[in-house]
Each structure stands twice: as C-alpha cells, then as structure tokens.
C-alpha cells in the first residue's frame, strides 16, 4: 500500500523560539548608543587579545605576564575597544586575573562614556586558565554520561569560577556535531547524535547562564561554532565542508536552534566554509537562518582573525577592508580581530564611504551593550571578584570525580578480566600511564594543553592505581612513547611475575590545526605493545586516553578489556583506578560510533543501503563499537517495551514504557536509550534515531519500568522542501533487544 505522503509541516517550536534578549534590559544600552560617535561604536565592535595590552620583549610576551599601561590606555581610552579575550600563553593565578581586570576597569573610567569591557575566555572544561581550578571531563567524555543534570551543575560551577576571575563570558559549549572522528576537535563535541548534543548543550547553557553565588549573574554562554564546522571533507581543521541544506538543518543546526531557544546569549561563527561560502560572509546562515528563522537576538562574534581570513585564506575579498564590509554586512556584530588595530579603522572607513550602513553598526552595538547590561557589568558590584567561592573547592572536586566516573566507558571485558582483584599484581605502562595532560586534553592551562609546567596536583592513572592498591602490587614502566616502544626483552622483563598489564594508550593533547591527522589508526608502536604482551600470555587491559577513536582493528580483539576513558579531566586518574578495581561500577555509554577500520566511518543513524555487503545481502552495522555501547559489572535484561497507544496523530504525544531488570549481582546504572525507526519515508530514513534517554539505578534483581513521553512532532525530519515534516506511517520504537510499533495517522 502506498503511503500517504506528508500532511503536516511541523511548526517546530525551535524554529519559532522566543527572543532571548529581554527588551527591558536594553534601556541603558539604548541611551548609551544614542550618545556614541561612529568611532566609539566601531570600538565596541572590536575584540582584541590580551597580548595587545601586554608587555613584550624581543617580540615575546614578558614572563611573568604584565600589562603594558600605555597600550592599555590606547586600547581602552583612545580606541574604546569593547571586548578583550584570552590569556597570554598560559594559566594565571586568581590574583593576577584580579589585577588584570582591575587595571582594565580603571582605564574604562577614563574613557568618555565609561563603557565596561566584555572579557571572554575559553573555560571549556572548568576555569582552565586559572591556577588551582578544578578541571572536569571534556565535552565528549561528559556526553558519555548522558547526565544532563550533572552537566548543568558543572557548568554552573564553572560559571562561578570564571566570574571569580572577573570574566563574565565563556566561549563554550561547542555544539558542533561530532560526525567525523578525524576532525581534531571531535573531543570538544558531545558526539555524533544531534539529539544528545542538543540535550547536553542546553544543560550547559542553562548552567552557565543561571545565577551563581549569592544570586549574581552567571556567565554568558557562547555557542560554537555556527555552523557546519565539524564535518570537513578531509577531516582537517578549518577546511571545506559540503553539507546539503536538508542535512544542515536536521543535524548541524538543530543543537544551535535548541540552545538559542534556551536563551543562549552569544554565538561564535565557524572559521571555515560550507558549500563554498565562508560562514563569516554568509548572509544566508548569519541572517536568513540565524536571525529570521531562529530569532537569535544575541551577539555574533567571529572566530580568531576570521574577518581578515576572508581575504588572506578564503580569497573571497580582495582586501582586508573589503573583508570587513563583507562580514559586517553579512551579520557579524563583534570581531575577534584580535591582533591588529586595522579592523576598527576599516570599519569606520567603510561606514563613511557608504559600504556599511550605520544602521547595521547600531544594531550590532546595541546588542553588545545590551549584553553588558544583562551581565551586570555597569553595576559597581560586577568588579567584586572576591565574593565568589574560590576555584578549586572541595565540592567542585567531588563533582569532577563523580562526572569522571560516569564518563569512562567499558567496551570489552572478556572472561571478567575486570575488575582487578586485590591480589592481582599489575604492570602499568604506555605513553599515557603517568601523564596528567592525557587526562585533560587541549585548552588546559595552555591552548594545546601540552605544557607540563602548569599541571594540577592530581593523580595520573599509574599514581591513582598505586594509591588504591596494596603496597608493592603496582609496577610502572616508563619509556614507551606514542611512536616508539622499548625493546621487547625490556617490556617482558618488566612484566616478570606479573600477569596483568594495564596499557594506557591513545594520543598526546591537541586542538585545532595542530591536531590534524591523515590516518585514524592508533600508532603501530602502541598496537605492538598489545601484541607483545598478549603473545607473552598476559592479561591485557587497554585504557584509551584520547580525543577521538583511533582505530586498532587487528589488536582490539586481542585485548581482554578495553576502556574508552576519553579525556576525563583532573580526577579521571582516580575515577579510572576505582572503576578498574571495581570499588565503583561503570555506567557510561559511547556518544559516538567507534569505527572498525580507519578508511570507513558510519554513524549509528546511517541509511539502510550503508549496511549492505558486497553480495547485496544485509551485513548489518559493523563498527568496532556502536554509538551507545557500554557495559558494566552487572547485566541488564530488557523485558519489554510498550507503546501506550499503537496509533497517534501527527499532533499527538506518545507514551512509551520500557521494562528492564538488573539480572546481575551488583547494583548498576543503566542508560536506557530510546530509538525510533521510520519504516519508509519520502526521504530515505536512517536505520534508527535516538529520541530520548534516561539514567536509572537498579539494585541486583530489581525490575523497573522507565517511562518516556514524546511529541510525535519530534519524529520529524527535513523533507524535500527543506522544512521539518512528520509523515504518517509505521514507526518502530526500540531499545536494547525489544521493540514495539506505532502507526502514525494524518
């Protein structure tokens, strides 16, 4: 029987979201704007890096860091620069942050209109540029917890820590959808599923922007990087992506739409190009979609140097000055210049020459001033940094540990290789065994997170295992690197009398361009370690500390246990030790699909045709580990799934009950993932799509019923006309091993 096609264009709430900048918060902003000269307005639209106000000697930033008061005066008083960002090289103490902010505020007072500077920073997994602050799991690890409540709590604590250093704006969260594991910022995402990314993203935005401390304003969140950054064709950072509008809307725009609806105040633009158009020059993406459809009213900020890049790298403007007109006319409000004073000059010239209308400038400046007002920057109390809880509180450490325990995924555990017994002697080795940076990744104390001078005083995996074991039971072997391992005889003699080897493998830290790779395979030296110890008859436990799934098809099957630890943060070492020793249980699930081979990657929501074998017979979906994989020290048996009504209209909601039992013998947390599969549709449907999830704790032998309610409109997809639609027909709802059918009628 032919299916009746589309009947309803779903007025997705997300496309109709409310304004996110309250009109009444603009009174001061409007009044200020009316007094501003063109030069002052251009200053407001300029963001410079801290280097531009810092002391340099022989072209190197002075250490210890010190401000250059002459530059500061020029930037704040003469040029009226509206925003400053970043840190000069590495993390600062809280007192140095206080000095910096106080100095900036002092110069603000000397400027004609005394407009406060909006300082922004990348505090993406804790106040990672403040000495002593607690560092949490990076986003990809966080997503493995599927715990939106704790993501909210973490973000709120980070907001307080960032505010304590006088900074009201955080360039986080990343809402790019991680669908290309080669991309060096994969670990900065919440993984491959747009629904999960949206849920975690909204939680983080709410946590950042909720009040902190004694009911003071949190920080403004900044959604990154709008839009289409995360799936470049060749996997390299800041290289072209080709994304059909349909996919752009259904996958990549969705998390931004949800976060805007939640009230996100700012958005950072993708440095790269989508379908041949640099996003910084795209009126379609910056205006038609962002403003007219998503009704975003906050500020758009460029990424690093990206207006200049329109001519220097993208070659869509002949000169820097033309690039300024292109970007501002397309809809940029604030330029992260951040290393020259030419942007401001060119902006003024463009307006005087009629290439940019002053109305466009007023629109941008009003948004910037309104944000400053909303963040309370005009109030004298904004500068009282001392009244926040100092970063690094015991409470934040507990939260970071708890989150780490929930974000480390157990993927393989042959013959109960784990947990490690109290009486089991172990050898810990591999390049990440005794290396704190490997727990934290990039954006940790420094941009690349590689400098060991600034490490927090926390335990590495080896140190944590030692602390949690009886004296003499844990041995460490150093010297194995990412690209070279010790001689075979040294590797084996270190394991003399020891049956269990914990191999901490993976990657060194990176972000952006320096993290580009051409081959997803885990280095051969590291895979050799697995082979050598396995051939010697050892029990091999592999712990992967890495920002993306590095493939190891032939050696994965040799491992007795595989743990994907991702980048679990400062307390990841202790969390790992407790999980490996079994004093706590694993609960996390993979927020991405771990490919089997480097040359082929499919996401869990691939199409039916992608699952066919050479002989055209269905092969199924065969990655190494699928999205949602994750086991624990207990077992869960799914007893059934039931839809409360078998038929629903496109405007209805449906209720689903899932029954499961903890059939093992220890308490555990199960993340129930509810999927839907559209049996046929006008656009080829995915095998399945995640629609909801819930974490449930079950005692041994306990049975629980988990309830979900979702609107049928959430089953919408983007149709041929590029709008969200729900088509009537048969949908299967499923979770691990059970399914039920829903018939949707017009």
Catalytically active residues, by annotation: 303
As measured in angstroms, the least distance from the Cβ of 315 to ligand BGC is 20
606 close to 653: Cβ distance less than 8 angstroms: no
Q: Least distance in Å: CB of 64 to ligand BGC?
A: 21
Please give the Cα distance from 717 to 708 (Å, whole number). 20
Q: Is the peptide bond before 247 cis (omega within 30 degrees of 0)?
A: no
Residue 708 β-bridge partners: 656
- Phi then psi for 723, rounded to 5 degrees? -120, 150
Residue in 298, 404, 219 with CA at minimum distance from that of residue 29: 298
Residue found under tokens 């507990």: 398
CA distances from 122 to 158, 162, 310, 532, 603 (A): 11, 10, 23, 41, 29
- Cis before residue 325, ω within 30 degrees of 0? no
CB of 307 to ligand BGC, least distance (A): 13
Nearer to ligand BGC, 175 or 365 (CB): 175
Q: Give a three-class secondary structure readout of 115-152.
A: CCCEEEECCECECCCECCCCCCCCHHHHHHCCCHHHHH
CB nearer ligand BGC, residue 97 or residue 594: 97
Residue placing its CB nearer to ligand BGC in the complex, 48 or 540:
48
Could you tell me whether strands 8-9 and 653-662 are parallel, antiparallel, or unpaired per DSSP bridges? unpaired
Q: 36 or 159, CB closer to ligand BGC?
A: 159
DSSP annotation of 635: -
Nearer to ligand BGC, 85 or 712 (CB): 85
Minimum gap (Å) between residue 365 Cβ and ligand BGC:
21
Q: Give the residue among 637, 628, 648 at the shortest CA–CA distance from 703.
A: 637
Least gap, CB of 446 to ligand BGC (angstroms): 12
Q: How far is the CB of 637 from ligand BGC (least distance, A)?
A: 43
Which C-beta is closer to ligand BGC: that of 268 or that of 712?
Answer: 268
Q: Measured on CA atoms in the order 446, 452, 457, 461, is the torsion positive or negative?
A: positive
**Minimum distance between the CB of residue 124 and ligand BGC, rounded to whole angstroms?**
8
CB 243 within 8 A of CB 228: yes
Smallest gap, in angstroms, from Cβ of residue 115 to ligand BGC?
Answer: 22
Closest CA to 205 of 171, 162, 249: 171
Question: Which one, 171 or 633, has the nearer CB to ligand BGC?
Answer: 171
Radius of gyration of the chain (CA): 26
Burial of 240: CB neighbours in 10 Å, binned 0-12, 13-18, 19+: middle
Residues lying near ligand BGC in the complex (CB under 6 A) are found at: 85-86, 122, 171, 224, 268, 271, 303-304, 512
Say which residue the tokens 């799991």 belong to: 137
- Tally Cβ neighbours within 10 Å of residue 239: 16
Is-contact 365 91, C-beta < 8 A? no
- For ligand BGC, the closer of residues 119 and 604 by Cβ is 119
Beta strand 220-226 with 299-301 is unpaired
Q: Which is nearer to ligand BGC, 87 or 465 (CB)?
A: 87
Distance CA 69, CA 241 (A): 43
Nearer Cβ to ligand BGC (123/706): 123
Q: How many CB atoms lie within 10 A of CB 50?
A: 21
User: Torsions phi, psi of 232, nearest 5?
Assistant: -70, 145
84 vs 565 by CB, closer to ligand BGC: 84
Sign of CA dihedral 645, 649, 655, 657: positive
Mapped onto helix, strand or coil, the DSSP state of residue 490 is helix
CA atoms within 13 A on the CB side of 95: 0
Cα separations (Å) of 16 from 36, 269, 475, 491, 722? 34, 21, 59, 61, 16
The partner residues of 566 in beta bridges, in order of sequence, read none
Q: Which is nearer to ligand BGC, 228 or 728 (CB)?
A: 228
Query: In 3-state terms, what secondary structure has residue 161?
Result: helix
Residue 647: φ, ψ to 5°: -135, 140
Instruction: Give the nearest distance from C-beta 651 to ligand BGC in angstroms.
Output: 40
State the nearest-atom distance from the C-beta of 237 to ligand BGC, in Å.
8
What sign for the dihedral angle of Cα 519, 181, 240, 450?
negative
Closest distance to ligand BGC from the beta carbon of 169 (Å):
11
Tokens of 513: 């361009």
Min separation Cβ 520 and ligand BGC, Å: 22
């Amino acid at each position: 029987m032919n299916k009746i096609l589309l009947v309803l264009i779903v007025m997705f709430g997300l496309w109709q979201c409310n304004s996110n900048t309250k009109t009444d918060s603009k009174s001061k902003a409007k009044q200020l704007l009316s007094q501003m000269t063109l030069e002052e307005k251009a200053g407001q639209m300029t963001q410079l890096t801290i280097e531009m106000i810092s002391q340099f000697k022989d072209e190197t930033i002075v250490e210890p860091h010190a401000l250059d008061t002459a530059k500061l005066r020029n930037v704040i008083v003469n040029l009226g620069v509206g925003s400053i960002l970043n840190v000069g090289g590495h993390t600062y103490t809280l007192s140095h942050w206080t000095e910096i902010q106080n100095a900036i505020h002092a110069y603000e007072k000397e400027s004609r209109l005394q407009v406060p500077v909006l300082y922004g920073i990348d505090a993406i997994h804790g106040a990672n540029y403040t000495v002593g602050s607690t560092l949490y799991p990076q986003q990809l690890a966080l997503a493995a917890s599927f715990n939106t409540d704790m993501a909210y709590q973490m973000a709120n604590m980070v907001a307080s820590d960032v505010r304590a250093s006088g900074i009201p704006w955080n360039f986080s969260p990343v809402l790019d959808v991680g669908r290309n594991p080669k991309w060096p910022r994969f670990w900065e995402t919440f993984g491959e599923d747009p629904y999960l990314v949206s849920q975690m993203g909204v939680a983080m935005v709410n946590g950042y922007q909720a009040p902190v401390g004694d009911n003071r304003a949190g920080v403004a969140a900044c959604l990154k990087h709008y839009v289409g950054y995360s799936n470049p064709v060749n996997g390299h950072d800041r290289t072209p992506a080709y994304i059909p509008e349909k996919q752009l809307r259904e996958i990549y725009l969705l998390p931004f739409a949800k976060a805007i609806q939640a009230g996100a105040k700012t958005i950072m633009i993708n440095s790269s190009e989508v379908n041949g158009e640099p996003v910084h020059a795209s009126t379609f993406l910056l205006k038609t979609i962002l403003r007219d459809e998503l009704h975003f009213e906050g500020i758009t900020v460029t990424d690093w140097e990206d207006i200049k890049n329109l001519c220097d790298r993208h070659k869509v403007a002949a000169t820097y000055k033309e690039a300024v007109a292109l970007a501002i006319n397309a809809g940029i409000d604030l330029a992260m210049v951040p290393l020259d004073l030419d942007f401001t000059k060119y902006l003024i010239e463009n307006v005087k020459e009629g290439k940019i209308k002053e109305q466009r400038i007023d629109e941008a400046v009003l948004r910037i001033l309104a944000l400053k007002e909303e963040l309370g920057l005009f109030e004298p109390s904004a500068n009282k940094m001392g009244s926040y809880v100092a970063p690094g509180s015991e409470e934040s450490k507990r939260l970071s540990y708890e989150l780490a325990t929930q974000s480390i995924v157990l993927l393989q555990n042959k013959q109960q290789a784990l947990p490690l017994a109290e009486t089991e002697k172990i050898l810990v080795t591999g390049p990440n065994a005794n290396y704190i940076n490997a727990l934290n990744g990039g954006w940790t104390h420094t941009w690349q997170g590689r400098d060991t001078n600034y490490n927090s005083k926390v335990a590495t995996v080896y140190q944590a295992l030692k602390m949690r074991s009886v004296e003499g039971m844990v041995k460490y072997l150093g010297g194995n690197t990412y690209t070279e391992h010790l001689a075979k005889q040294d590797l084996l003699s270190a394991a003399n009398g020891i049956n269990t080897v914990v191999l901490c493998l993976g990657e060194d830290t990176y972000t952006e361009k320096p993290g580009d790779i051409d081959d997803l395979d885990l280095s051969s030296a590291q895979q050799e370690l697995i082979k050598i110890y396995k051939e010697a008859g050892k029990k091999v436990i592999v712990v992967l500390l890495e920002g993306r799934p590095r493939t190891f098809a032939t050696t994965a099957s040799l491992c007795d246990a595989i743990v994907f630890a991702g980048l679990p943060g400062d307390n990841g070492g202790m969390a790992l030790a407790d999980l490996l020793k079994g004093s706590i249980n694993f609960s996390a699930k993979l927020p991405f699909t771990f490919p089997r081979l480097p040359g082929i990657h499919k996401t869990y929501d691939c199409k039916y045709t992608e699952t066919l074998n050479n002989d055209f017979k269905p092969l199924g979906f065969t990655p190494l580990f699928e999205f949602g994989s994750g086991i624990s020290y207990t077992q869960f048996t799914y007893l059934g799934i039931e839809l409360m009504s078998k038929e629903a209209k496109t405007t209805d909601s449906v209720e689903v009950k899932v029954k499961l039992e903890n059939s093992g013998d220890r308490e555990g947390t199960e993340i129930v993932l509810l999927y839907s599969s559209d049996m046929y549709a006008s656009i080829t449907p995915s095998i399945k799509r995640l629609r909801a999830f819930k974490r449930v704790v079950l005692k041994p032998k306990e049975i629980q019923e988990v309830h979900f309610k979702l609107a049928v409109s959430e089953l919408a997809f983007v149709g041929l006309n590029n709008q969200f639609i729900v088509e009537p027909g048969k949908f299967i709802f499923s979770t691990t091993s059970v399914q039920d059918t829903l018939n949707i009628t017009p």
